[in-house]
Amino acid sequence: MKNKIIALLAIVLINIMGCACQTKTDGIVNKNPPGWASEAIWYQIFVERFSNGDTMNDPLAENIRTASDFFTVPANWHTTPWTQNWYLPDDWTSDLGKDFYSNLQLRRYGGDLQGVMDKLDYLSDLGINAVYFNPLNDAPSLHKYDARNYHHVDVNFGPDPEGDNAIIASEDPADPATWKWTSADKLFLEVVDSLHHRNIRVILDYSWNHTGVEFWAWKDIMSKGENSRYADWYNIVSFDKLETPENEFDYKGWLNIKALPEIKKVNTKEAHRNGFPFEGDLDAGAKAHILAVTKRWLAPDGDVTKGIDGYRLDVADHVPMGFWRDYRKFVKKINPDAYLVGEIWWQEWPDILMNPVPYISGDVFDGIMFYHLYRPARYFFANTDFSISAGQLTDSLKFQWNRIPVETRTAMMNTASTHDTPRLLSSFYNKGKYKFHAKPNEDENYKAGKPDHETYQRLRLYLMHQFTNIGAPHIWNGEEMGMWGSDDPDCRKPLWWPGMEFESENRLSVSGTDLSVDQVRFDSLIYSFYKKLIQIRKDNKVLAHGEIGFLNAVGKQWSYRRFDDREEIVVCFNLDTIPYTMALPSKAKYKELIDQQIISDSVVLQPLTGNILKRLNP
C-alpha cells in the first residue's frame, strides 16, 4: 500500500509542477523581480494583534491547545481585553507556575480578518501599497508558524470557527480535489479583493520548513507510527519499538524545538550549516502538498486575478536550494508577476548577518528581508554604545549594494523592525547591540517604556533615510502609531488604535527597578510623519528607481543624492552637536519636501535635523 501511495504522490507532484519545470536555456525563469516590487511600500500585518472586528469568533481554550506539553491551557483561560496594561498578568496565570513572558505565549486578543476589513480605509489613508501578512494558516499559536492546516486560514480569523472545523473534518487533507473553502478562507479572499481594488498588493507568509504537532499528517504519524503514509514527510530519527517498554520515538524539530517538527530534507549533498545555503530538496510527498497549497492562494479555483501576489518564506536558509529553485519556477509559471521574498537573516547571532547573494541571483527569490541595512544605520542614527561615522555607513551601504544584482536592488524589502525584533523606538532608545539582550527578562536595565525626546528626533532622521534609500521601505504594523516595545513578545502588543482608551503601562511584573508609568495612545504626530514620507516616496519615482551618489560623509554629517537623467533629490543629515552648512550640488533651486521651503546654494542643518531636497528644474 505504501508503495502505491508513493507512486500516487509522485504523479501528483508531476501534475502540479507540469511544465513549470521547463526553463530557459540559462536555467533561470523570470530572473528579474516583478516591476511593482520596486515601488512597493510594505506594511506588515500580524492579524492576531491588528484589530478585533468580530468578538463572536474569539479563540476558546480548545482552539489553542496542542499535543506539546510546553504549555498547559488552564480551565479558566479567556482572551485578554485589548486595552489592558500589557504587563498586567492575566488572572488565569496564577496557577501555571511560569514567569510573565512564558505566560504571554498563551495570551490572545482576538484579532481577525474582519478587523482588517474594518481598517482598510486606514491603510488607504496611510498610503501604503503592499501588505505582507504574517501566517494566516490554521494553527493553535498566536504566531501561526506551527501549522495545523496549511491549506486553510485559521478558523478564529473567520466568522464561523465551528462550521469551519466541520468543513475541514470533511476533507481528505492529502487530496486537493476534496479541499473546500471555509468561511475564513472566503473572508481572506474578500480581503485580498478589497485590497486589490485599492491598488494594494498582498503577500502571505508561510514556513515550509516545519509544521506544528497538530498538523494533520503529523497526527497520523502519532497514531500509526511507521505505518503512516506520511512517515517519510518528516525528519524522524527513530520510531517506537513496540516490543520494548521505552518509547524510542525521536525526531528533529526546528532549532531542536519539538513543537515544530521539521519536513524531511532529501538528496542533500552536505550537512546544513546555520546561515549557509545547501543543496537538496524536500520529501516528494510533502513537496507536492506544499505546491498544491501555494497554487491554491495564487490562483483560487484557477483564477490568478483573485489570488495573492506572492509569498514571504520563513527561515528560508533551513530549506534546500533545490526546493527553492523548483518553487520559483512553479510560482512564476502560475503568476510571472508574483513576488518571492525570503527571510535570510543570521549566520551567527548576534554578530554576523547572512550573505544574501546566493538567494537573490535570479533563480530563488526576488528579494530578501534586508535587515542588513538597518543595523549599521542604527549605529549611525541612534545614540548607541557602539557608533559609526558617516563614512563607515557609506562604506557599509556600498558593500551591500555592490554585491547585489542591479535589477534586484530596488526590489529588496528594507526591513527595520518586525514581529521578531524590538520596535524602532525601543531599538533607538537603548544603547546595546542590535537584537541582543533586548528585553527586560534578558537585561534588567533594558528600557522598555516610552522613549525620551531625543530618541524621537533620531528616529525621525532614520525614517527619512529609510524612505529615500534604494529598496522598498517596510513598516511593521504599529510603528506608524508610535508604539514602543522590546524584542518578541513585547513587539507584539495589540495595536494602539485612535479613539481607544488604554490602561497606563507599568512594568512592575517584569522589572522591580522600573517604576515609571506611561500613557498609551495613538501618536498622531508620528502617523502624520509616516504618511508624509510615504507620499514623498510615491510622488518621486526617482526614489524607487534612481541611482544613489554619496556627497558628504564627515563624522556625523552625511548626505547623498538620488538621481536619474531628469530628477535629483538630495538627502542630508546632521547628527552632530553643532550646526552644519552644506553646499548644494547644483546652482538650481531646491524644495524641501517636508516643510516645502525653497532653498538655494546651501542649507544650514541644526543638530539632529535633516532635509529631503528636490531640485526644481527650470
Instruction: Return the residue matching grid coordinates 526591513.
Output: 415
The pLDDT > 90 percentage for the chain reads 91
Mean pLDDT (whole number) for 506-532: 92
CATH code for residues 547-615: 2.60.40.1180
Least confident of 98-102, 133-137, 203-207, 330-334: 98-102
Integer Cα distance of 562 and 579 in angstroms: 24
pLDDT for the residue 69: 62
Strands (E), 443-546: 472-476, 505-506, 517-518
Q: Which three cell numbers stand for residue 74?
A: 488552564
Q: What are the pLDDT digits (tens) for 16-48? A: 444 333 333 345 568 999 999 999 999 999 999
Mean pLDDT (whole number) for 150-165: 99
Q: Amino acid letter at 361? A: S
pLDDT for the residue 515: 81
Residues contacting residue 347 through CB under 8 Å, at least 6 positions apart: 274, 275, 276, 353, 354, 355
Q: Are 307 and 279 in contact (CB under 8 A)?
A: no
Q: Which three cell numbers stand for residue 529?
A: 510623519
pLDDT for the residue 70: 67
Mean pLDDT (whole number) for 456-464: 99
> Residue 64: which of 158, 135, 160, 141 has the closest Cα?
141
Least confident of 12-21, 56-65, 494-503: 12-21
Residue 522 pLDDT exceeds 80: yes
Mean pLDDT rounded to a whole number for the chain = 94
- The boundaries of every CATH 3.20.20.80 domain in the chain are 2-215+269-534
Other CB atoms within a 10 A radius of the CB of residue 617 amount to: 9
Q: 513: pLDDT confidence band, cut at 50, 70 and 90?
A: confident
User: Between β-strands 568-574 and 201-206, what pairing exists: parallel, antiparallel or unpaired?
Assistant: unpaired
Residues contacting residue 350 through CB under 8 Å, at least 6 positions apart: 433, 434, 435, 436
Residue 498 pLDDT exceeds 90: yes
Q: 494: pLDDT confidence band, cut at 50, 70 and 90?
A: very high
Q: What is the DSSP letter of 339?
A: E
Q: 71: pLDDT confidence band, cut at 50, 70 and 90?
A: confident
Q: What is the DSSP letter of 203?
A: E
Choose which CATH entry (1.10.3720.10, 3.20.20.80, 1.20.120.1200, 3.30.70.1350) describes domain 2-215+269-534: 3.20.20.80
Q: Which pairs from 330-334 meet CB under 8 Å and 24+ separation?
A: 330/16, 330/17, 330/20, 330/291, 330/294, 330/295, 331/294, 331/298, 332/20, 332/29, 332/30, 333/18, 333/19, 333/20, 333/29, 334/20, 334/295, 334/298, 334/299, 334/304
- The boundaries of every CATH 2.60.40.1180 domain in the chain are 547-615
Residue 561 pLDDT exceeds 50: yes
Mean pLDDT (whole number) for 554-571: 98
pLDDT for the residue 104: 95
